[in-house]
A and B are shown apart, each in its own frame.
Chain A
Amino acid sequence: GENVEQHPSTLSVQEGDSAVIKCTYSDSASNYFPWYKQELGKGPQLIIDIRSNVGEKKDQRIAVTLNKTAKHFSLHITETQPEDSAVYFCAVRSSNTGKLIFGQGTTLQVKP
């Protein structure tokens, strides 16, 4: 079955710095790659997603890059702010099963 590895598990940056989180996957039939942000006591919230026919997508301070050949994708947050502090999850959707498989999560701490 699909396997999704996410790194790092924790990340601490100074306010204003950039943060990068990486995920690798195993199923070459995967076609959709969302990133979710989860704050304490809340459900995951979609922050950006990318489909397999696109290599990069940007939304203000957030960007996602996808390398289908290497089977990895990354979340980039620039000019980090304290309110970016949360747990971030990558996920992969297989076109065969339609299921979303989540990574293990990255706890991001932005220090003021």
Chain B
Amino acid sequence: EAGVAQSPRYKIIEKRQSVAFWCNPISGHATLYWYQQILGQGPKLLIQFQNNGVVDDSQLPKDRFSAERLKGVDSTLKIQPAKLEDSAVYLCASSDSEGGDYIQYFGAGTRLSVL
């Protein structure tokens, strides 16, 4: 079974530029999560999708971050404009929550450096 795919693996941009990350969850997983992991900390949830609907985006800085999952499968996370403090690893995870499974499977992440 293929895991959660993310791209790109690394991205370096200057502040005030925009950037987008892509995630393809495990096939059949209805729930998709985006996390931000700052160096030396645990992952922090940014947004959770159930199919193509948003379940929780309470921690998403909506003035600069946006995310979509239009067809209920893959998803994109965008930052515009980026700030220095956005430097982090952005992790995507998915789970088969409709099957009652709480387990979240993570991708390898995208490491973003904002200069």
Contacts and interface: CB of A to CB of B under 8 A. Distances in A.
Nearest to B97: A98
A46 B40 CA distance: 19
A111 B106 CA distance: 28
Interface range for A: 20 to 34
Contacts, number: 50
B108 interface: yes
Interface stretch (A53-61, A62-70, A76-84, A101-109): A101-109
Given A34-B103, A99-B48, A99-B56, A43 B42 contact: no
Interface of A: 4, 6, 32, 34, 36, 41-46, 49, 89, 91, 93, 97-100, 102-105
Contact of B108 (A4, A36, A43, A91): A43
